[in-house]
């Protein structure tokens, strides 16, 4: 995506069918976008402005500054738009598919609606979580190939864009899968080597610059959200720590874990159970029971006001997804 395509991206997604701010007047959105930007520390504001000026997003025209605020706000509040800004997930679509039996298939835009709507006007994650009154525990069951994990990773990124102090655990059936998820999330923030201007712009020890994408342009996500970007080989593969936060706890921004690990002592704001049920651990009744027990135990890692997303493909009526579905039906009957 080139600089002059950002406006097209923004205008398209301002009108997304399910976007909660679709009807918001542009002047109100512009005000909110500026409030969100100026929540950042002065150092982070300066970094973003310097990078955006270097790559042509902001010029001497004052309107370009306002547009930059709007682009950031769109990514912070519209998950479907963020999927397209990240480019790796640009195959997500808002089209409706009709199966042979006449039923409609949920589009990727509708899947994005499963995730928490975030409000970047609220200063901290703690305040947002405490004030939040909608569902904090969610279950998403989508067949393989439905982009559920890709959208889930984009959601992790959106949490970070809104509140750098957030802590997110990616919990899967096997550790290697969780590590792969974290590596992919981290890759969106990882810059390329080279570029003499990059050393000063991104405040790193060696010259770095935004990645170059397929159309030959700089990765616009890394330009717009420069405060979160890191150099290659920054930290272990199984975790990501954003440099944008002013507070680093023992839990980093995003880290990987598996269902079989001993996780006592860890506490996170957002728990992401993605594919905790696998072909291997769902083969026998005993294995299914063991996984269900571990899911129940690990839920204690979430802070009381935090968020809990369980995402996967349903294997068995007795697995953790089947139990949740049975529980939901019982409550519906009440």
Most confident by average pLDDT, 102-116, 214-228, 243-257, 291-305: 214-228
| Structural domain harbouring 176 | 3-333
| Pick from 247, 210, 214, 256: nearest CA to 232 | 210
DSSP single-letter state for residue 64: H
Decide the pairing of beta strands 254-258 and 97-98: unpaired
**Rounded CA separation 5/37 (Å):** 21
pLDDT given at position 149 = 83
Which H or E run contains 7?
helix 6-14
Q: How many domains does the chain have?
A: 1
How many residues would you count in the chain?
Answer: 334
Asked whether residue 105 carries a pLDDT value surpassing 60, the answer given is no
pLDDT given at position 85 = 96
pLDDT given at position 229 = 94
Asked whether residue 27 carries a pLDDT value surpassing 70, the answer given is yes
Asked whether residue 57 carries a pLDDT value surpassing 70, the answer given is yes
pLDDT-based confidence at residue 64 (cuts at 50, 70, 90):
very high
Asked whether residue 168 carries a pLDDT value surpassing 70, the answer given is yes
Q: Which of 100-104, 133-137, 142-146, 154-158 has the lowest mean pLDDT?
A: 100-104
Strands (DSSP E) contained in the chain are: 97-98, 104-105, 137-141, 168-172, 192-193, 208-209, 239-240, 254-258, 268-274, 302-312
Most confident by average pLDDT, 30-39, 187-196, 273-282: 30-39
128, 189, 282, 307 from 124: Cα distances, Å: 6, 21, 39, 15
The CA-based angle 206-208-211, given to 5 degrees, is 155
Which H or E run contains 138?
strand 137-141
pLDDT given at position 67 = 97
Per-residue pLDDT, averaged over 112-127, amounts to 94
Per-residue pLDDT, averaged over 159-175, amounts to 92
Could you give the 3-state DSSP secondary structure of residue 235?
A: coil
Asked whether residue 198 carries a pLDDT value surpassing 70, the answer given is no
- Alpha helices, DSSP H, located in 164-271: 175-187, 196-201, 220-224
Mean pLDDT estimate for the chain? 84
Q: Which of 107-121, 152-166, 205-219 has the lowest mean pLDDT?
A: 205-219
How much is the pTM? 0.88
For a pLDDT cut of 70, what percent of the chain falls above it?
Answer: 77
pLDDT for 253-305, tens place per residue? 999 988 777 766 778 999 998 876 665 655 566 666 766 676 666 677 889 99
DSSP single-letter state for residue 230: B
Residue 65, φ and ψ in degrees, nearest 5: -65, -45
Per-residue pLDDT, averaged over 68-91, amounts to 93
- Contact status, residue 277 vs residue 291, Cβ threshold 8 Å: yes
pLDDT-based confidence at residue 333 (cuts at 50, 70, 90):
very low
**Rounded CA separation 10/13 (Å):** 5
Dihedral, 13, 14, 19, 20 alpha carbons, nearest 10 = 160
């Amino acid at each position: 995506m080139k600089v002059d395509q950002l406006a097209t991206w923004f205008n398209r997604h301002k009108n997304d069918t399910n976007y909660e701010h679709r009807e918001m007047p542009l002047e109100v959105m512009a005000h909110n976008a500026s409030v969100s930007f100026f929540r950042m520390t002065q150092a982070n504001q300066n970094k973003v402005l310097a990078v955006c000026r270097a790559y042509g997003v902001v010029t001497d025209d004052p309107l370009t500054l306002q547009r930059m605020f709007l682009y950031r706000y769109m990514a912070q509040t519209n998950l479907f738009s963020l999927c397209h800004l990240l480019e790796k997930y640009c195959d997500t679509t808002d089209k409706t598919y009709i199966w042979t039996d006449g039923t409609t298939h949920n589009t990727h835009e509708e899947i994005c609606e499963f995730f928490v709507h975030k409000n970047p006007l609220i200063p901290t994650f703690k305040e947002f979580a405490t004030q939040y009154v909608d569902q904090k525990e969610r279950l998403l069951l989508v067949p393989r190939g439905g982009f559920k994990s890709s959208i889930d990773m984009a959601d992790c990124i959106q949490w970070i864009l809104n509140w750098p102090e957030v802590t997110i655990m990616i919990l899967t059936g096997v550790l290697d899968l969780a590590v792969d998820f974290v590596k992919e999330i981290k890759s969106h923030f990882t810059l390329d080597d080279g570029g003499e201007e990059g050393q000063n712009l991104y405040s790193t020890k060696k010259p770095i610059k935004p990645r170059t994408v397929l159309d030959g342009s700089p990765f616009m996500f890394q330009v717009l959200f420069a405060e979160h970007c890191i150099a290659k080989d920054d930290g272990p593969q199984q975790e990501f720590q954003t440099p944008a936060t002013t507070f680093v706890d023992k839990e980093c921004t995003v880290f990987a874990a598996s269902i079989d690990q001993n996780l006592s002592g860890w506490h996170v704001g957002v728990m992401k159970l993605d594919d905790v049920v696998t072909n291997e651990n769902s083969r026998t009744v005993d294995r299914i029971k063991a996984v269900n027990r571990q899911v129940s135990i690990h839920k204690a890692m979430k802070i009381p006001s935090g968020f809990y997303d369980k995402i996967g493909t349903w294997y068995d009526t007795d697995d953790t997804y089947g139990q949740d579905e049975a529980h939901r039906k019982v409550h519906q009957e009440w």
